[in-house]
Amino acid sequence: MRRDALYFPGLVPTKFSAIEDFLRTSDHARARIEVADDVLGYSLLDAYAEAEVYDWEVYESGFLVLTLALADWALDHVELDPVLCGGQSFGAIIAAVFSGALSYEDGLRLVRASAAVELDYFAAVPEPLGCLFFYRLDSRTVDALVADFPGELEVSIYLDDSVHAVSGTLADLQLFEDRVRESGGYPFYTMNRSEHCSTVRPLRDRLETEVYDRVSWNSPKWPMLSDVSGRLLTDPAEIEEDLLDGWVTPVRWSTVVEGMRAARAEHAHIIGPRNMFARITNNALPTDVITPKKVADHPSATAKRVHR
């Protein structure tokens, strides 16, 4: 059998209407939701349906449930021989749960507790922080723009050579957004918190003592590919530290691709609600996506609808 890499993208806020059908009709989703409702103490579907984009606990819990359910489906319906499991940014937490480094229940508790600490931290900083996402500029241009900017900005994400994110104060990011446009770039999203940058080191340290050290970490079923170093991790303590260090280390998709190559992965399966990540690894190794649409179009779903 071929050597497969299972990979979970970072959180992209997704409207409930776009994924509602999968969450309500999939047996895999219903099983995940039942546990989530019990751990969280409320109906996650009801909360997700009413959530705003910055309701972090609900959006992150919903994304966790959705993505894990897609991965559960893939194990049942796609011929897989995983040699590694990994994730980018928030996706690394999903990978930790799916690989068994964290129990599902502890993963939900970690998401809830982390959201509370993050909200407290960002509410207390002297100036509001954010993260600006944009595309159509190459990495060299982005680095030059940041270096020439008079404020204190850091590049947080090099998703490929055209999609980037920069963190800093919201005031500086508003000015930087103009420079991105003037240089031919296209800003498309500003998040109300910074991430993957040295500025949030105090948050990383708070999360370690207040959240991550209070859940149990285990040896994973498959080695976890670090999006920080590109290394394969199997030691529970290393996995915990790696997830925390993701807060203060820029995401570089090239690091992930190089890690897949080093592990001799032959095929990548990108698991999540959207397929935008497929094009990134396609140049390195064959890639397919596991999305709600793929589930809906699968023969098993057609047979199930006919049976009903």
Adjacency order of strands within the sheet including 4-8: 232-233, 224-225, 82-87, 4-8, 267-271, 287-290
Over residues 236-280, the pLDDT tens digits come to 999 999 999 999 999 999 999 999 999 999 999 999 987 666 666
pLDDT score, position 75: 94
**Domains of the chain as residue ranges with CATH:** 4-123+199-307 (3.40.366.10), 129-191 (3.30.70.250)
pLDDT score, position 308: 44
pLDDT score, position 1: 67
Q: What is the mean pLDDT of residues 140-145?
A: 97
Instruction: Give me the chain's average pLDDT, please.
Output: 93
φ, ψ of residue 161 to 5 degrees: the values are -85, 20
Model confidence at 12, in pLDDT bands (50, 70, 90)?
A: confident
pLDDT score, position 122: 97
The Cα-based distances of 55 to 12, 72, 255 in angstroms read 13, 26, 30
Q: What percent of the chain has pLDDT over 70?
A: 94
Model confidence at 305, in pLDDT bands (50, 70, 90)?
A: very low
pLDDT > 90? residue 160: no
Q: What percent of the chain has pLDDT over 90?
A: 82
For residues 207 and 283, the model is more confident at 207
Q: Which residue has the tokens 């807060």?
A: 247
The Cα-based distances of 133 to 65, 114, 122, 130, 172 in angstroms read 25, 22, 19, 10, 14
Over residues 215-225, the pLDDT tens digits come to 999 999 999 99
Over residues 97-134, the pLDDT tens digits come to 999 999 999 999 999 999 999 999 999 999 999 999 99
Q: Which of 66, 61, 72 is nearest to 19 (CA)?
A: 66
